[in-house]
Amino acid sequence: MTDMLSLAGTGPVVLAVFVILIFFSVVSWAIIFFKLFQIHKANSESVRFMDFFWKTKRFDTIAAQADRFASSPLVMLFNEGYSELKQVMDGDAKQEQAGVSTDLGDIENVSRALRRATNQEINRLEKYTTFLATTGSASPFIGLFGTVWGIMVAFEGIGRTGSASLAVVAPGISEALRATAIGLIAAIPAVMAYNHFQHKIRVLVKEMDSFSTEFLNIVQRNITGK
């Protein structure tokens, strides 16, 4: 492994390929560890929040303690939905005092707030994952470019020396193939991590959709009387 990563005697183009691939790999691993922590926290705190939500059953009490579950995307949905609901109810109370008949069919405002919060949370959860997808798709081709370039340089060396012996050819070919190997080393974990995170995010999105539906049902049953 040490020999494979040795850059001594490497040509400038292949060296640049190595540096790019190592950069992709290091950043990808940083993202992988960050997303593992972020999504684990989101899952665990969502479970805790839903347990608290159904046990408490009072929106004001839930809102007062929602910060305990700040990493859960469901908390963002609740905060946005509850904030919009209070605005709708305050506006409705003012209209009733003025003698105007009102209808909290304005529930659509709450629904829009929940959809907006869902989109914001999806963007937050998917942040940086596109870099993993880019690494997974681009790294093998970058490595292949380094391999092709290295082989071209090796054949030029054969042309200059007039010798095709193994001692002349092998170092250049070995250097060239290392580029492809490093490209695959960078790409494979990135692809696996990207697919894993996309699956976990899809599960969280389903939970957010389910929570939004339940939130709206509670509002309609217990507040609007519909």
Q: How far apart are CA 70 and CA 209, in angstroms?
A: 18
Please report whether residue 4 resides in a domain: no
Residue 38 lies in a domain: yes
10: phi then psi, degrees, rounded to nearest 5 = -80, 140
Whether 6 is covered by a domain: the verdict is no
What domain range is 139 assigned to?
11-222
The reply to whether 195 falls in a domain is: yes
Assigned token pair, 211? 């929570």
Distance CA 187, CA 37 (A): 21
Residue 68 falls within a domain, yes or no? yes
Query: Is position 2 within any domain?
Result: no
C-alpha 36, offset from chain centre: 10
Note whether residue 191 is domain-resident: yes
Decide if 136 contacts 187 (C-beta within 8 A): yes
Q: What is the pLDDT of residues 27-70, one digit of tens each?
A: 999 999 999 999 999 999 999 999 999 998 788 889 999 889 98
Our count of domains for the chain comes to: 1
- Write out pLDDT tens, residues 90-126: 665 554 444 333 444 567 888 899 999 999 999 999 9
Note whether 71 and 45 are within 8 A (CB).
yes
- What is the Cα–Cα distance from 43 to 200, expressed in whole angstroms? 9
Residue 127 counted as domain residue: yes
Q: Does pTM top 0.85 for this prediction?
A: no
